[in-house]
Amino acid sequence: MKNTYTRLLWPLLMLFLLTGCLFPDSELSKNKQPNESQLKEVQSAVDQYHEQTQGLLPIRTKSSDTPVFQKYLVDFQLLKEQNLMTEIPGTAYQNGGIYQYTIITPEDDPRVKLIDLRVSDAIREVAVKLNAYRNEHIYPPFGKEIADGIFQIDHEKLGLESPPYVESPYSKENLPIIMDTEGNLYVDYRIDLTRALDEYEHDFDEGDDIRYLLAESTPFVPAYSLPYTVRDGEPVFDSSSESNKSS
């Protein structure tokens, strides 16, 4: 009888364990996909808040030197206090998702976009190794200079098997992580910008910040980016831009 009971219990136990393992993954996978309806819902709430408060935005206060694409993060608590939202979107970081909701062009035409936090995680992992390296060395591990003051990373000095990269939220391509003269880390979005210049209609000229072509044409902002402009139809780093240098 005891053996029979054990034989019956074991499949149920396995089913319970599998269900327990699979359910969080399935829920997590839903939170990894940008949800258009949730994005529209937040945009609608932000628009209503903007109208009801005579031009204010539901954002957290950030310092003036905060990178432009990370400067205007949506404060969902303010939206809930105004009864404009009843719950935080499942894709939002505050609710277990992998996106931060942010606002671009807040003065002219506030639009809600997403920061893919997997980019932030990849940057953070390299930063940990970089900080450890700099505790023992004077200079950052500069690799090849790819533009004025912009370098590849000597990954071997950081103990990495290959050059560091992030997966693009736009194309799923591997985008290199690069470094400036001070050892600050950025993502090189030239692959995505090249495609965007071909794919989307635009009137950008040399000197314009073409990162907004990605931010305005897709759900995502190019987080941890240097300024880019266009020259001879190609994206190039804009070394003349001193403000809003990263995001």
Number of H-type helices and E-type strands within the chain? 6, 9
pLDDT tens sequence across 96-139: 999 999 999 999 999 999 999 999 999 999 999 999 999 999 89
- Which of these, 183, 185, 71, 67, lies nearest to 119 by C-alpha position? 185
Distance CA 213, CA 124 (A): 26
H/E element, 235: strand 234-237
Query: Residue 171, Cβ neighbours under 10 Å: how many?
Result: 13
pLDDT for 29 beyond 80? no
- Which of these, 119, 148, 139, 113, lies nearest to 238 by C-alpha position? 148
Q: How would you classify residue 101: left for phi > 0, otherwise alpha for psi between -120 and 50, otherwise beta?
A: beta
pLDDT tens sequence across 134-193: 999 989 999 999 999 999 999 999 999 999 999 999 999 999 999 999 999 999 999 999
Return phi, psi of residue 163, to 5°.
-60, 140
